[in-house]
Structures are given as C-alpha cells and as structure tokens.
Amino acid sequence: MSFQVSVAINDGPFQKKTVSNSTTVGEINNDAMLIWKDTKIVFDVSDGANDFGPSTTMQQLGVTSISVLYIYTTSFPCPSGDLRSIVPAQVRLINQFASAASNLFNQQQSSAPSSSTQRAPQRAAREDDEGDMAKAIFNRKVLDNPATLKSVTETMFFKLKNDMGKLSYQLPDLVERFMENKNQTYKEFETMFRSFVEEEVHKEEIIKNNPNSVEAKMFLEAKKNKELINEQYLHSVTHHPEDMISVTMLYINLTINGVPVKAFIDSGAQKSIMSMACAERCGLNGLIDRRFASMARGVGGTEKIEGKIHLCDVKVEDAHFSCPFEVMNRREMDLLIGLNVLRKHACCINLKNQRLEFGNGTSTPFLQSHEIDTHLKEIMALPEEEMHMEEQ
C-alpha cells in the first residue's frame, strides 16, 4: 500500500514522494548519508552498529504517511566530519521557538518584578558574548596566521550551513554577505570570508588608532545601531516568537454550481476576481460578459480582464449569496473575494475567532495553512519552488 511523505533534500524545499513500506532509501536518493525523521535521526551511514545503506526500507525507518523526512547527501558540506552534527533548518527553528517560549514561561513564573537593573546584567552578558566572538575573529593575529584563519573559516562555514540562526544574531553582517550566494562552495566562501575579516579588522584598527576621526565615529555609530537592532531582535524572539512566523493568508471554503472552491479573502482588493480556470471548472464560461473586458492595474502590474460575471450564486455553509466577479487569466489565484462583495454582504473578518461572518448570521472558519498549501499546489498546479520562502 503506497502513501505520500514530505521529503526535503539538503535543506531544500519539501517535495511529496509516493512510497510504500518496501520502498528503499536508494529509490528516493541513492546518495543519502543521513536521514532525520521528524525530530530524530533514523538513518546514518557512519553508524557501524546498524547496517544502513541504499537497501534500507521505509518500514525499517518507521516511516508513515505523517512522517517528514530530511535527507542529507554526500554533496552536503560537513566540515566537522561528524554527520550527526547536521540538524535540519526546520528542526532548529522549532527548537528556537521552544526555547523562546520556555524563557517567556520562566519569566512569567518569576515573582520578582522586571526592572532595568535586572535586565542590565542580561544585556551585558549578551554584549560580552557578541564582543568575545568579534574579538576572537576580527583581529590581526587571526588574519596573519594561515592555520588559525583556516580553522575559523571552516568553523564559520559549518555554522552558516548548519546553525545560521545563532550567527544571525551574533554576526548579522557575515550572514547577510553569505546569503548573497548561499550555495557557494567552500573555496568561494574562503575567499569571501577572508575579504570580510580584512574589512572588519580595518574598521577596528581605525576605531582603535584614530577614535576621533570622522570615519571612526561613523563605524562606532553603525556598531551601536547593530547592537540596538540585535537587542530588539532578541526581545522579539523571546517575548513575541509568533512574530517570527509567516502569517497565513485568509481563505474559506465555498461552493459554486456544486463545485468546491477555496476563496482568498482580500479586503484590500476593490473588486472580486475569478480565474478563467475556476470559471471553466464551475461551468460559468457562458456567463462571462466580454463587453466588460478591460485592463486591471495594480501593485503587481497590469493584467487583462476577460470579462465579468454579473450574478454568480455562491454557497457558503448552507447560505447562498449573489456575487459579481471579474474574470482574469491568473493561475496563481483561483477566486478572490474583494471589498465589493464583503461590503455587499456586510461581512466581518473576525480574527479573534478565526472566522468570516456574514451580515445574515452565516459564519465559516478560515482554512489552516496545510489546507491552503494543498490547494495552491494541487488545484493551482504551482511549481514547488513558488510555495517556499527560503529563510532567507
């Protein structure tokens, strides 16, 4: 019996793979050297205690239809040489939010009042941590010692590939430079990192040797701004971790001519839009008034409106609503409910209860993120890469 699992290779985007209990690792990826299932390692070719290899089956790994697999191949960089040091980016993110939630809970449990005097030692500790790392890397001794520079370069490359989250806070400029070419080879990184260290050492030497110069003051001001940004970031992660997660857009289920449709709710859109593909699925081609063909101009550019459906019967839950729709050839959007329909039917977007409420008392829930992803990938047939926002 076959089923589908989500698979990410070398921290790339997730793909759906159809497998069965007898499917082997080699059939999914013959170069696999390490596999995480959900939040633990289940396959490690370096583990001598188990006979892992391309012939290992999904059943042996305990893979089910709800499993998420993170596969790392021989092409994935591992400077430390220890495969088990590789941690999936998604797992690291989960751990970061868990840590932030734990910190928040512990702070709330504390009976001691919060004050600037209490926060001062914490802030000082963070600044010391940042300062120690900067001093350890950005100094002339490191730059002039090939062996030390090589060691630091390997460490930074490994951290950027496997634990970028912490470095994003400690060395944001380095992370930003790395993200300009995140798929770079170690040799490319080696050149880039040396150049980066030389620039930082130059700045530190100017600040030290000529602190009253215009250039030194400019570097110091930039440094203080970065420290403030880092403090605000840490506060946000610790106290408001939900702000770090992408917001799920608002969709609802509805029916047109007996055909189920997932509609995007957009109060910022003046008109309601239906794609030509949706009109065809719902058998509405003959109702398109092409006398209303025109051009639509917006933030995304200019697109052609094929015509207008003046009265479309839309069923939400057990209620029926008449709605007008402009018809456009857009594959990335099936149906958009704009302000004209929302106002016509006195709709209320209730974010507290996560529901769209109509003036006649009808209420329907907003869809969960996994339902929206399924809709966009299967109904809209979008390429996988368009579904992902790399942390990018």
CA atoms of 166 and 96, how far apart (whole Å): 9
Q: Which of 266, 289, 313, 373 is catalytic?
A: 266
DSSP label of 46? T
pLDDT of the residue at 344 = 95
What letter would DSSP give residue 291?
G
Give pLDDT, residue 134.
Answer: 58
Would you state the torsion angle of the CA atoms of residues 128, 134, 136, 139, taken in this order, to the nearest 10 degrees? -130
The structure's pTM equals 0.49
Tell me, what's the pLDDT at 117? 41
Query: How high is the pLDDT of residue 64?
Result: 85
* CA dist 268 → 29, 149, 264, 342, 364 (Å): 44, 53, 11, 11, 20
- First and final C-alpha spacing in the chain: 37
Neighbour tally for 89: CB within 10 Å: 18
Residues in CB range of 200: below 8 A, 6 or more apart: 134, 137, 138, 173
Looking up tokens 């610790």 gives: 238
Structure tokens at 307: 């015509």
Q: What is the pLDDT of residues 81-105, one digit of tens each?
A: 677 777 886 666 555 555 554 454 4
The predicted-structure confidence for 310-364, as pLDDT tens digits, reads as follows 999 999 999 999 999 999 987 667 899 999 999 999 999 999 889 999 999 999 9
Measured from the Cβ of residue 297, the count of other Cβ atoms closer than 10 Å reads 9
Residue 272 phi, psi dihedral angles, 5° rounding: -95, 140
Q: Residue 163: helix, strand or coil by DSSP?
A: coil
Position 12 scores a pLDDT of 82
Residue with tokens 């005097």: 117
Residue of 375, 280, 366 whose CA lies nearest to 328: 280
Question: Residue 65: which residues within 8 A CB-CB, separation 6 or more?
Answer: 3, 4, 5
Radius of gyration of the chain (CA): 27
Q: How far apart are alpha carbons 39 and 36 in whole angstroms?
A: 7
Give me the domains of the chain, ranges plus CATH numbers: 2-82 (3.10.20.90), 94-109+116-243 (no CATH), 251-382 (2.40.70.10)
The pLDDT, as a whole number, for residue 382 is 45
Strands 2-9 and 68-73, by their bridges, are parallel
Residue 363, helix vs strand vs coil: strand
Burial of 367 (0-12, 13-18, 19+ CB in 10 A): buried
pLDDT attached to residue 232: 81
CA 191 distance to own-chain centroid = 29
Three-state DSSP state, 41 = strand
In angstroms, the Cα distances linking 265 to 339, 343, 381 are 9, 12, 20
The type of residue at 241 is P
Strands of 2-9's sheet, edge to edge? 15-20, 2-9, 68-73, 32-37, 40-44
Residue length of the chain: 392
Is 231 in a helix, a strand, or coil? helix
List, for the chain, all residue ranges whose pLDDT scores fall below the cut of 50.
Answer: 101-102, 104-106, 108-131, 382-392
* Residue 40 pLDDT: 83
pLDDT at residue 312, rounded to an integer: 93
Helices 186-209 & 214-239, crossing angle to 10 degrees? 120
Q: What is the pLDDT of residue 88?
A: 80
Using alpha carbons, select from 42, 11, 12 the residue that is nearest to residue 25: 42
> pLDDT value at position 350?
94
- Please say if 266 is a catalytic residue: yes
Q: Where are the alpha helices (DSSP H) in 14-88?
A: 25-28, 58-61
